[in-house]
Copies of this chain bind each other. A is one copy, B any other.
Amino acid sequence: MTTPSLRPGGRSARVQESIHAAVRELLEEQDRSSVTVPQIAARAGVTPSTIYRRWGDLSALLADVALARMQPETGSANTGSLSGDIRAWAEQYLDEMSSAPGRNMLLDVQSSLKQSYCATIIGGQMQIILDRYPDEPNPGIDRLINLVAAPIVFRILYSEAPLEVEELHRLIDIALSQ
């Protein structure tokens, strides 16, 4: 008897990746409320019980996929200045999150016990940018999250329209001038 492989790229990781891919595909093809576990299982080539055993229910799986998608695929743009890098990051984040799939990601993640990873993921991205400019005044990760990421997300979830890019730029200037 062997224990299940948990190494990255091992069988377990490949099953997970095929399930995540199935969810991403189905979410592009149809409305989120109509996606079911048996559909995902069929697309991923696994049994529904594999999904239930690993995630418990559909909302936990959707949350897991949403969190994975919040990890940036590429490093953030290196524009040569701290404010330029933060602007580039924030404009892309605003753009992605205010789309319908982005908004659904924000909602899906809330069903997860890991919803606090959102701030951790954003904080990690901010830290990478801050580390590029050790000689510039450092507003701190929390300040950047509060002044830049929070208004983007709040406006998407709870107001009529997403944050305007002009106001986003002003908020970044405020964050960097403190």
Compute how far the CA of A109 lies from the CA of B155 in the bound complex, rounded to whole angstroms: 14
Known contacts A107-B110, A174-B178: does B153 contact A145 (CB below 8 Å)? no
CB distance A167 to B150 under 8 Å?
A: no
The range of chain A's interface size is 20 to 34
CB distance B159 to A119 under 8 Å?
A: yes
Chain B residues with CB under 8 A of A58? none
Oligomer copy total: 2
Task: Tell me the minimal C-beta distance from A18 to chain B in angstroms.
Answer: 28
Chain A, 68-94, contact with B by CB distance < 8 Å: what is the 0/1 string? 000000000000000000000000000
Compute how far the CA of A178 lies from the CA of B142 in the bound complex, rounded to whole angstroms: 20
Compute how far the CA of A107 lies from the CA of B119 in the bound complex, rounded to whole angstroms: 18
Q: Which of B146, B158, B167 contacts A163 (CB 8 A)?
A: B146
Known pairs A116-B158, A116-B160, A174-B174. 15 more at Cβ < 8 A? Answer: A109-B158, A116-B159, A118-B158, A118-B159, A119-B155, A119-B160, A142-B167, A146-B150, A147-B147, A147-B174, A150-B154, A153-B154, A153-B157, A153-B158, A157-B157
